[in-house]
């Protein structure tokens, strides 16, 4: 399947099923994953916080687990599309050692094997995708576990489907503006996960560097870097926002755009469209997916290969 075909399948990947758990049973929920699988936990965590979830949630990238996880009142959700990500497998083993509750998600691999042997609930997604192109499949499973209503997920899917040509066109237009520059993405707390997704998609698909910073923190450091005209001239700026952002954050968005314009920069200002936070977030993410795809084409790269990642994995497999 080509990258374009995988991208087009995204809305169809958003399939609802009833898998909800009683979140009140847990003191914490920790999402473990790396790369294209790790972003799933970021989106789920952001969605839970926006819904007013009282359970402490976090995304964990790396080996082991945070020290506070100990006992079945802590839920660890291990997400690895391949099922063979060594960091996530180490999370699984550590969660077992500490007696935590575990749910796993993969298309197979060692994670599925270990889950079946241990009696851990394993949710399987279809094979045949690069992990970053299987976002919808993995996210649907996680949100189903967390109790998303069918109507909310279907609305998010329909929002993308009905606006698909507009999303693709917007992505292509943004790729034109990013070409030849280092993309710098400024986000708000509600769009931070989308900014991170844009960064990583540009890294992997477009084979180029990209960076992001988040308001209001960036107003205490990042903005001073704009004084360097020689460096800022090499960058293209994106400013993301959501209509439900804190009033003072929205004020900071306006100030950031004004600051950039005063410096002679015309930033790409963008917010997601949709009835719900999830719908807007996924709309914004998918615009970035297409932008990274078109940007890859402009640079003459095939989006799928990630040779340097494969080399690192090969070297690590040697011990």
Instruction: Tell me the backbone φ, ψ of residue 316, rounded to 5 degrees.
Output: -65, -30
Please state the domain count of the chain: 2
Instruction: Note the pLDDT of residue 314.
Output: 92
- Residues 125, 207: one domain? no
Q: Which of 168, 204, 207, 286 is catalytic?
A: 204
Among 122, 147, 172, the domain boundary falls at 147
Give me the helix-helix angle, 150-162 and 277-299, nearest 10°: 40
Q: What 3-state class would DSSP assign to 218?
A: helix
CB 189 within 8 A of CB 183: no
In a domain, 130, yes or no: yes
Q: How do strand 235-241 and strand 268-271 relate by DSSP bridges?
A: parallel
The residue among 91, 120, 147 that closes a domain is 147
Question: Is 204 considered catalytic here?
Answer: yes
Over residues 142-166, mean pLDDT:
97
At 142, which CATH number?
Answer: 3.40.50.10490
Give percent of the chain above pLDDT 90. Answer: 97
Residues 279 and 179 in one domain: yes
> What is the tens place of the pLDDT at every residue in 92-137?
999 999 999 999 999 999 999 999 999 999 999 999 999 999 999 9
| Alpha helix segments (H runs only) across 76-228 | 86-97, 109-118, 135-145, 150-162, 164-178, 192-206
Q: Within this chain, do residues 62 and 185 fall inside the same structural domain, yes or no?
A: no
Catalytic residue among 18, 220, 307, 318: 220
User: Both 283 and 192 in a single domain?
Assistant: yes
CA angle (204 as vertex; 64, 194 as ends), nearest 5: 75
Q: Is residue 319 part of a domain?
A: no
Instruction: Report if residue 276 sits inside a domain.
Output: yes
- For the chain, give the number of residues: 319
d(CA 307, CA 227): 36
18 a catalytic residue: no
| pLDDT per position as a tens digit, 220-264 | 999 999 999 999 999 999 999 999 999 999 999 999 999 999 999
Please give the model's pTM, rounded to 2 decimal places.
Answer: 0.97
pLDDT mean across residues, the chain = 97
- Same domain? 199 vs 112: no
Identify whether 308 is part of a domain: no
For residue 34, being part of any structural domain is answered with yes
Q: Does the residue 313 lie in any domain?
A: no
């Amino acid at each position: 399947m080509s990258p374009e075909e995988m991208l087009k399948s995204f809305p169809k990947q958003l399939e609802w099923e009833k898998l909800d758990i009683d979140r009140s049973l847990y003191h914490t929920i920790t999402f473990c994953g790396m790369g294209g699988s790790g972003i799933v936990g970021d989106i789920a965590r952001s969605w839970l916080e926006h819904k007013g979830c009282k359970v402490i949630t976090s995304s964990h990238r790396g080996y082991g687990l945070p020290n506070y996880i100990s006992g079945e009142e802590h839920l660890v959700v291990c997400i690895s599309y391949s099922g063979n990500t060594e960091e996530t497998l180490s999370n699984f083993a550590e969660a077992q050692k500490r007696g935590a509750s575990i749910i796993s998600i993969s298309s197979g691999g060692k994670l599925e094997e270990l889950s079946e042997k241990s009696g851990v609930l394993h949710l399987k997604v279809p094979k045949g995708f690069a992990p970053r192109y299987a976002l919808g499949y993995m996210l649907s499973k996680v949100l189903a576990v967390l109790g998303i209503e069918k109507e909310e997920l279907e609305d998010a899917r329909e929002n993308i489907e009905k606006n698909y040509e507009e999303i693709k066109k917007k992505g292509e237009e943004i790729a034109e503006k990013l070409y030849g520059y280092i993309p710098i993405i400024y986000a708000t707390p509600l769009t931070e996960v989308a900014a991170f997704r844009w960064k990583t998609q540009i890294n992997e698909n477009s084979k180029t560097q990209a960076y992001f910073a988040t308001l209001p923190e960036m107003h205490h450091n990042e903005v001073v870097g704009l004084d360097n005209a020689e460096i800022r001239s090499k960058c293209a700026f994106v400013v993301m926002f959501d209509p439900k952002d804190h009033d003072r954050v929205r004020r900071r968005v306006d100030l950031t755009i004004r600051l950039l314009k005063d410096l002679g920069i015309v930033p790409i200002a963008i917010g997601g469209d949709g009835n719900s936070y999830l719908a807007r977030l996924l709309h914004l993410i998918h615009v970035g997916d297409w932008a990274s795809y078109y940007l890859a084409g402009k640079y003459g790269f095939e989006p799928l290969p990630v040779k340097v990642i494969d080399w690192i994995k090969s070297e690590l497999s040697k011990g």
